[in-house]
Amino acid sequence: MTATAGLVLAGGRSRRMGAPKASLDWHGSTLVRHAVGIVGRAVDGPVVVVRAPGQPLPALPAAVEIVEDAHEGRGPLEAIAAGLAAVGDRAQAVYVCGVDAPLLHPAFVRRVLVLLGPGADVALPRAHGFAQPLAAAYRTTVAAPLRTLLHEDEPLGTSALLRHCRVTELDEAAILADPDVAAFDPALDSLLNLNEPGEYEAARARPEPAVTVRLDDGADPRTVRAAILAAAASAAGLPLGEGVLATLNGRPVDDPQEPLVTGDTVALRRGSSRSS
């Protein structure tokens, strides 16, 4: 399988939001913690967060790599270049997203990466009436033309890079042809981004994901609303703590802030006591 990586761009100035987006609360976690967790579920290589020089970030899993823009305030191409340099030859394709995509679903990320065919440099979703370059898949080979663009100081919008790439545009039908995307993200809410406080509050007011929780007490599975593992466990009546073991879709997890999405299944059981 072609190795894939994730780039989460967290270094924007957040002028309209009025506060750093990366640190905004997201149902008991933060937007940046949520983003790296979702992207990490969809790629098989590194997840890299690109921040502004000296920008503080909330706590993140140890496996997440953090790099800085070479020059602050020069737009997303500077950040993408820094992320690609960090990934190097460890992946052949990267999914790029902003930190402000709280409804991103792993199925959407996987679908966009799958649609990056061998004859393309970029798989670019075009949905909700717009091209979505910060929800797209890029060949890591775009690093070379990107370095040239930055050196020549051309306009630093993403369109400058796309003009130098072979782009496959993905319409909504192509993305929704994946059954998981159609089932769990039919409105393509993965593309929602937050730029102003009102947008953030509206997104926070939406119902949290519907997830299935299974306990080892023989009771029937139950559906709860929860955006992180700790909230799902508490809602099911078995809060995380010493001796409680959790899996997410069959994968062991132990971070209370592990993000959840619609369609997830959390299994909880009490571990056996350790002998003294």
Instruction: State pLDDT tens for residues 72-102.
Output: 667 899 999 999 999 999 999 999 999 999 9
Distance CA 141, CA 146 (A): 9
> Can you say how many angstroms the Cα of residue 30 is from the centroid of all Cα atoms in its chain?
12
The residues spanned by each domain of the chain are 4-199, 208-270
- pLDDT of 128 above 80: yes
Average the pLDDT over 7-34 and give the result: 91
Instruction: Give this prediction's pTM.
Output: 0.94
Secondary structure class of 139 (helix, strand, coil) = strand
- pLDDT of 3 above 90: yes
The average confidence (pLDDT) of the chain is 92
Summarised one tens digit per residue, pLDDT across range 95-126 is 999 999 999 999 999 999 999 999 999 999 99
Average the pLDDT over 235-252 and give the result: 93
- Find the largest Cα–Cα distance for the chain: 66
Sign of the Cα torsion 138, 200, 203, 57 reads positive
Please, are residues 74 and 33 in contact by the beta-carbon 8 Å criterion? no
pLDDT value at position 121? 98
Summarised one tens digit per residue, pLDDT across range 135-173 is 999 999 999 999 988 886 654 789 989 999 999 999 999
- Are 4-199 and 208-270 the same fold in CATH? no
- Gyration radius of the chain's alpha carbons: 19
pLDDT value at position 157? 83
pLDDT value at position 71? 76
Architecture field, domain 208-270: Roll (3.10)
Helices vs. strands in the chain: H and E counts, helices first: 9, 15
Q: If one looks up domain 4-199 in CATH, what number appears?
A: 3.90.550.10
H helix intervals, the chain: 31-42, 76-87, 106-114, 143-152, 158-162, 172-176, 179-184, 197-204, 229-235
Confidence of residue 275 (pLDDT cuts 50, 70, 90): very low
Summarised one tens digit per residue, pLDDT across range 22-58 is 999 999 999 999 999 999 999 999 999 999 999 999 9
Strand 93-98 vs strand 135-139: parallel, antiparallel, or unpaired? antiparallel
